[in-house]
Structure 1
């Protein structure tokens, strides 16, 4: 089972250049979190799954309180924070998009999608 959060937007101060870090940009973050469906679907208890509100808050905190040069590093920090903070998560897929990035061509967004799996946890069959 996957718990997801889509379209978390914020203004943050990441970027390769000093100017990007000073001015900041709008970012959009999407999360897809693999958890066991057996207990979550049978108990109806939030403690048996991942609270997507808390997962979104963690992603927001990591993105807004850190300053990195690349979206790859940011996505990695968010994914690791999710795995560290939620033992129920077997796999975290994090997508970070910089909206209207400063480029020679006009695009809606550019970014990265990263998947990080908890070590020792097998993929469901």
Structure 2
């Protein structure tokens, strides 16, 4: 089963530049989680699957209460925390997008993506 949380928007204080960490900005997070194919057919109750309201709360907590210099570090922390706290997540793909990038040039955003599979 694939479960997606699309375009979650959080306000955080992440970035290499002091101004980014002082003023903060929006971050857009997309998450794709997969449960194991062998257990998908027995999903009948919330306890049989991943409670995405709790997943959202975990991501929000990390994105809004912590500071990271690098999005890569932030993505790794979120991915590891989700795999630790939600044993029914078999695979995940997490993308964190930063729309306001302090680059002298024109671009829509910068994004990092991390993928994990439970061993």
- TM-score, reference length from structure 2: 0.92
The equivalent residue for 1:67 is: 67
Matches within 5 A, 1:87-102: 87-102=87-102
How far, CA to CA, are the matches of 2:61 and 2:108 in structure 1? 24
Matches within 5 A, 1:70-81: 70-81=70-81
Q: Does 1:7 align with 2:7?
A: yes
How far, CA to CA, are the matches of 2:50 and 2:78 in structure 1? 15
Q: Does 1:108 align with 2:108?
A: yes
How far, CA to CA, are the matches of 1:109 and 1:29 in structure 2? 12
What do the CA deviations read for 1:65-98 (whole angstroms, capped 9, x no partner)? 1101011111111101100110101122110000
Runs of 4+ in structure 1 off by over 2 angstroms are 36-43
CA shift, 1:116, in A, is 1.6
Taking a change above 3 Å as real, the CA distance of residues 40 and 48 of structure 1, as seen in their structure-2 partners, is farther
CA shift, 1:40, in A, is 4.2
- TM-score, reference length from structure 1: 0.88
RMSD: 1.4
How far, CA to CA, are the matches of 2:96 and 2:76 in structure 1? 10
